[in-house]
Amino acid sequence: MIDDLISRLDKVRKTGTGSGRWIACCPAHDDKSPSLSIRELEDGRVLLHCHCGCSPADVLAAVGLEFADLFPPDSRAIGHANPERRPFPAADVLRALNREALVVAAAAGFLLEGRALSDEDRERLALAFERIQEAIAFSGVNSHGR
């Protein structure tokens, strides 16, 4: 699973003192130096984070993979794992959304000042909105914050 992902990336190198951590060029944008962090957890799950703001969905699409490819085969079928209620801790979701919140805040500041948003700004705001909605859906939090 991790080997398939790593084989599709450029400038991959291991990082840190432990195993299961890499950095590579992000395939979802024109990356000249590695900005994509990859981490394989002990249970086989793979985490992706582009430090330039690309979503995991964008990264996966760029290399022809899907979210299912980041997770090991369902070991619950053979009784080895318990299902998780929420696959990502809320603090991790908030950290990942920091950039998107800054985009929304900047757009709100422009609008409050009476400045118009360019088409490019509107597109980026729409992307931030989409990423925030996806994160809410993946976090298991309902529309009432519970």
Which span out of 99-103, 104-108, 137-141 was modeled with the highest average pLDDT?
A: 104-108
Please give the mean pLDDT across all residues of the chain.
Answer: 82
**Could you tell me the sign of the dihedral formed by the alpha carbons of 102, 58, 138, 121, in that order?**
positive
d(CA 108, CA 75): 45
What is the pLDDT averaged over residues 8-36?
89
Please tell me the predicted confidence (pLDDT) of residue 60: 92
Q: In sequence order, which residues have a C-beta less than 8 Å from that of residue 25 and are 6 or more positions away?
A: 9, 10, 11, 31, 32, 33, 34, 35, 36
**Where are the chain's structural domains?**
1-74, 85-141
- The better pLDDT of the pair 72, 24 is held by 24
- The better pLDDT of the pair 81, 63 is held by 63
- For 58, the token pair is 């964008």
Please tell me the predicted confidence (pLDDT) of residue 95: 73
d(CA 63, CA 78): 30
